[in-house]
Each structure stands twice: as structure tokens, then as C-alpha cells.
Amino acid sequence: MSISRRVKEIPPSPTLAITVKAAQMGKEGIDVIGFGAGEPDFDTPENVKEAAIASIREGFTKYTPASGIAELKEAICRKFKRDNDLDYVPQEVSVACGGKHSLFNIIFALCDEGDEVIIPIPYWVSYPEQVRLSGGEPVFVETLQEDDFRIKIEQLEAVITSKTKIIILNSPQNPTGVVYDREDLEAIAALAVRNNIYLISDEVYEKVIYDDRKHWSVAALSPEAKALTLTVNAVSKPYSMTGWRIGYAAGPKEIIGAMDNIQSHTTSNPTSISQKAAVEALNGPQDVVDKMVAEFDRRRKYMVDRLNKMRGVSCFNPGGAFYVFPNISGLYGLKYQGATITGSLSLTDFLLSKAKVAVVPGNGFGADDYIRLSYATSFENIQKGLDRIEEAIAKLEG
């Protein structure tokens, strides 16, 4: 059997892999606390579910236009105006089967063989693989915890070449939770405009933000920035609709049209029923989002405090999303029953086998000195899981 080179070189998603492994242990009767899932543990709001049920009863179960129904595109345009002060028309919006699908369509529409795409480290695991699938070349720029994981303009300037096509931004970011300030984004936008580089702004965690911070959309900063920006969002995170698979992107008509063409030959339309549910999510009451974020905030504060008190662990306080990304390099060289902690993967294996706690190794995000824990799980699970981690770390010797 001959699998294509591009596909053979792509590793599986580490976030999904750890979730599957933990789920399998659970089926075997092992009590595993999972911190891997990148989805809210709350139910989809009732009004959204009822809208989907109504659409089924009304027979809205057939094909739709490949890039989404007009009603949903109009709701997305209103959302961009309401939340981001961005003016788009439906022809500048494309609806896909989740935010990940929107990102892939953009990258595939823009990248030719050898085009370079700048990706800050740590990164969401699928960015570099999507670039490689398109024939592009990821160019990584490392950010540091002491700089609050913010990319510096001089770092970007140092790696821009004649082949640079795209800079990927993610704020609030997965996995660190960093939220970029307006000043940060203005500088990046100005750099992109000077060099005619496209910006992909992944804003799927936009609503999950803490400490009175404000989310800024880079496309809203200037007309010139908007002309080069593809803004990506989804209903998955704010409305706990991960399984409904509705993401969307807005940007220049020519690029959106190319994305629509790609989608028409791959997946065709997103699920009709999910589109109707997304209309209700965007148009309906938004207080459910505030309640969910308030609970995430409570969990965030507890996790950061607990982790920072643990031996050999240093945890950045995230400004958004629902992950913590603690530095665990202080545990390197320590041993347990002959096995040595040498990186995020060995620590992850140790915690899963000895503590029955599933976390995601940082090497999948390009940052091997870290692990990612999601606090999109119950407070009881968080307490129990952190107790287990603390007890396991205490057993390390050396």
C-alpha cells in the first residue's frame, strides 16, 4: 500500500490521541481524570437545541449552498458588527464544518508550493500540519513565558522573506491562553501591511476571556489590515457546540470565493441542521456564555494557584481560553522506579500510568518544556486530578 508522502509525514493530533487513550482506560474500568479535552463540559443551550429540533421537524434536512445558508451568513455579519466592529457582507463570509475546516480552506486557498507561513510557538497543533498539507513551509518563531508568550515585532522581521505569505495569529491562544493587546496587534498589522503579508486571525476563544480584558480583532484596526486578514471563528467554544461542527471565516471576496470552491469539491455544505442551530446561537440570548466563562474563571484561578505551589512547576496565568500551560522543566532529571523525566512526553506517560491523570504533552505544541491541562471539566475532577499530580510528583526522586 502506497500512502502519499505528505500524509505519511503528518503525526496524529496529540490532543485527540491522549483523549482516546484516557477514554480506553476508562472503558477498562480504570479511574482516569482527563485534562485533555478541548471542549466545554457544559451542555449546548436549550434554545439552540430546540432550533435544531424544529429544523428537523420542518424538513430542513437537505443540501444547502456549499458555503452556508444566507440566514446564517447574515447572522455572522451581524455578530462581527456587534462584537468586533467589523463590516462584512454575506459574500465575504464562508461557513465550514468547524473552525479547523475554515482554517484549512484558507491555507489551502492561499498557499502554493514553498510559500512560508509564520507560526508562533507554542502553536495549536494543527497549524503546521495544515500548512504542510497545502505544500507550504511552516516558519516557527518561539515566544517565551517571561514575555507572556507574546511574539515580538523584531522576531517577525527577522524571519520574513520574499516567500512569506501568511502570519497566523491566535488570540486568546491555545495552548497558553495569552490575549494580545491592541498595541501588539497594531504593530503586527502594520508589519503585515508593509510587507503585503496575509494574516489569519484565529479568534475561536474570543468569548472566553478574563480579568476585564478586551478582545481585539486585527481586521478592525485599519482598512489596510482588513484587506489582508482572514478572521476565523466558530460556535463551538462559546456555545458548547463542538460536535455540531460549524465554523466560519470572513475576509476579501476573492479569497472567500476560492475557499467556497474548495469546499464545494470536498465536504460540500456544513450540516443543514447545525446551521439552523448556529443561527439561533448567534442571534439568541448571550447570557449563557457569561455564566460559562464565570465558572471557567473560578477553575482557572484554582488551577494556576495549585500548580504554582507544586514542586518543579511554574504556571503562566492565562488571560483567555480554558487551558493552563505549566512549565515542567524543573522536574527534568528526576526519576521514579528507574524511569527518568526528560521531557513533556515522559512526564505525560508517568502521570497517566502512575497517577491516572491524562494531560497533553507540550511537544505537540512545539514547546517540550510544558504540558497542557484543560479546565473544561468539573471542579471536583480538577481538585482530584491536581491532588493526584501533586502526590505523583512528590514520589519523584533525584
Longest dimension (CA), the chain: 66
The pLDDT, as a whole number, for residue 173 is 98
Contacts of 265 (CB under 8 A, 6+ apart): none
The pLDDT, as a whole number, for residue 21 is 78
137 SS3 class: strand
The pLDDT, as a whole number, for residue 11 is 80
Residues of the chain with pLDDT under 50: none
Q: Are strands 137-142 and 323-324 parallel, antiparallel or unpaired?
A: unpaired
Cell numbers at 127, concatenated: 497549524
Cell numbers at 252, concatenated: 476579501
The pLDDT, as a whole number, for residue 7 is 84
Contacts of 252 (CB under 8 A, 6+ apart): 92, 227, 230
Q: Quick: pLDDT tens for 296-338.
A: 999 999 999 999 999 999 999 999 999 999 999 999 999 999 8
R_g of the chain, CA atoms, integer Å: 21
Pairwise CA distance, residues 205 & 68, whole Å:
22
Pairwise CA distance, residues 262 & 162, whole Å:
26
The pLDDT, as a whole number, for residue 1 is 65
The pLDDT, as a whole number, for residue 15 is 67
Pairwise CA distance, residues 237 & 289, whole Å:
9
Reported in sequence order, the residue ranges of the chain that DSSP labels E, i.e. its strands, are 33-34, 93-96, 116-121, 137-142, 164-170, 198-202, 229-234, 247-250, 323-324, 335-336, 339-340, 357-358, 360-361, 371-374
Give ∠ CA 294-379-14 in degrees, rounded to 5. 95
